[in-house]
A and B are shown apart, each in its own frame.
Chain A
Amino acid sequence: DAKTTQPPSMDCAEGRAANLPCNHSTISGNEYVYWYRQIHSQGPQYIIHGLKNNETNEMASLIITEDRKSSTLILPHATLRDTAVYYCIVRVLNRDDKIIFGKGTRLHILP
């Protein structure tokens, strides 16, 4: 699987949009971008995934650049409960392989 690069930590004011970047410059054409988050000491939670089109669900939006070398996860109106570690992962859809988590970005929502 292609490797990803994320900033180790970020701050965001409550009520503002949180924009979390991820670089995946070696992503291949059949690899999807997945985002998970882990709230303190809980099991990670799936957020969203996409291939090349922007995606939106009830939790977040995913913006993938045209060259697919980077993406941004957007939490439109961050709340204190969004404080967590956010993991960006790239992997082939339906590939018969394990999922490898990196160190992620620790997002602090400030009151």
Chain B
Amino acid sequence: DADVTQTPRNRITKTGKRIMLECSQTKGHDRMYWYRQDPGLGLRLIYYSFDVKDINKGEISDGYSVSRQAQAKFSLSLESAIPNQTALYFCATSDLSAGVGETQYFGPGTRLLVL
């Protein structure tokens, strides 16, 4: 079973619709992240959370919101989707281990198309 799962894996929606992308993890990590990836570009950070009560904006948070419902769940919402939010979205988790540092574990991605 995958440690980090994302639902849905693919989604087509229309401009102006509200949609939610969900991420769940079974690794027991405190830290969770949402990234988007556009063709030819690297990953860009949208939001991140270091524990259930902590939410932080990333590089490109405008037009997005998040909810950390539990340690294992981190949802990304597009309140009113627009076509330039068409992208591949990744959720990631990480934890700090003394002497080892932080490595991230990524989900399989959600491909979103906004018409």
Residues of A at the B interface (CB closer than 8 Å) are 32, 34, 36, 41-46, 49, 85, 87, 91, 93-94, 96, 98-104
Contact = CB atoms under 8 A, between A and B. Distances in A.
Contact of A87 (B42, B59, B92): B42
Contacts of A103: 41-42
A48 to B, nearest CB: 10
Contacts, number: 59
Contact count band on B: 20 to 34
Given A43-B92, A43-B108, A98-B58, A93 B41 contact: no
Contacts of A85: 42
Contact of A99 (B96, B102, B108, B109): B102
B45 A98 contact: yes
Could you tell me the dominant secondary structure of chain B's interface residues? Answer: strand
Nearest to B94: A99
Task: Return the 6 tightest CB-CB contacts between A and B, nearest first.
Answer: A43-B106, A101-B43, A46-B103, A93-B101, A103-B42, A101-B42
Could you tell me the dominant secondary structure of chain A's interface residues? Answer: loop
30 contacts: A34-B103, A36-B104, A41-B109, A42-B108, A43-B90, A43-B92, A43-B106, A43-B109, A44-B43, A44-B92, A44-B106, A46-B104, A49-B101, A49-B103, A85-B42, A87-B42, A94-B96, A94-B98, A94-B101, A98-B33, A98-B45, A98-B48, A98-B56, A99-B94, A99-B102, A101-B42, A101-B43, A102-B42, A103-B41, A103-B42
